[in-house]
Structure formats: C-alpha cells, structure tokens
A = this chain, B = another copy of it.
Amino acid sequence: MVHAQELTKNQSLVLDVLSHTEGPLSAYSLLDQLRDKGFRAPLQVYRALDKLMEFGLVHRLESINSFVACTHSHDHKHGVIAFGICDTCGRVDEFCDAVVEERLKGWSKDHAFRLSKTTIEMRGTCANCLAA
C-alpha cells in the first residue's frame, strides 16, 4: 500500500486540497486553488491526479469531469466502485456492491471481454437536498 510519505510534493498538495473539500473538484478548480502553492499549469495537476488515481487515493468521476478523494480506508484493495452523485449539492457517496461486481464480471466472462476498468455513476438528488 502507498503511504503519505511516498507522495511527491505536487501529489501531496493535490490530495490535500481534495481531502479537505466536500465534494468533487475539476482539474482546473484544483489548479486555481493551488496557484499560491506555486502551481502554474494544468499538467501539474493532471500528472499528480494520474498518480493519485493509480495509487487508489483519488477517483475520477467521468460523468462530471471531476475528481474526489477516496473515502475508503486503504487497508484493502478496491473492487468495482459505484458512486452516488448529488446534482444539487455535489455530495458524492462511494460504495461497493459485490452482487453488481459479480454480474458485470459475469457478463465479461460470457462475452470473452477482458475487463480493465468499470465506471458506475448514479446521478440524482441526495437525501439532504430532497428534505430541503
């Protein structure tokens, strides 16, 4: 497993902003928030994000072109992850479902499809926003 000490300066800075933010951020939002730390170009953010995703510390939300810090403890490896994304407040809930994973892997097996990455994103309105 990867520990915080092994992260480079830029990776730490990006993860720090993501971890202290409620909800997802775009790469350019991250860039803006890191300008006073010396960030000048999008590539600095994208490179850090690539590594953080490789380490499993950050996830990309494909349907909103944004990134979130992983909310799982990292003592274990990620399986297939699903996200519930509130379109009103931006809240993101991350969860795993073994049955879903099994069904999708089953389809892959049946179709001789070598699966490399699975994206599951549910857009909608969270309980808090519904109550308000």
- Which positions in A face B, CB cutoff 8 Å? 62-63, 82, 84, 86-87, 93, 95, 97, 99-100, 103-104, 107-108, 111-127, 130
Contacts and interface: CB of A to CB of B under 8 A. Distances in A.
A120 B81 CA distance: 11
B118 A122 contact: yes
Copies in the complex: 2
Contact of A130 (B63, B114, B124): B114
A123 B130 contact: no
Nearest to A112: B127
Contact of A108 (B107, B115, B119, B124): B124
Contact of A114 (B113, B115, B125): B125
Given A116-B87, A127-B113, A82 B104 contact: yes
Given A97-B107, A100-B104, A124 B119 contact: no
Contacts of A130: 112, 114
Contacts of A114: 124-125, 130
Contact of A113 (B100, B103, B121, B122): B122
A119 B115 CA distance: 16
B107 A99 contact: no
Contacts of A120: 104, 118-120
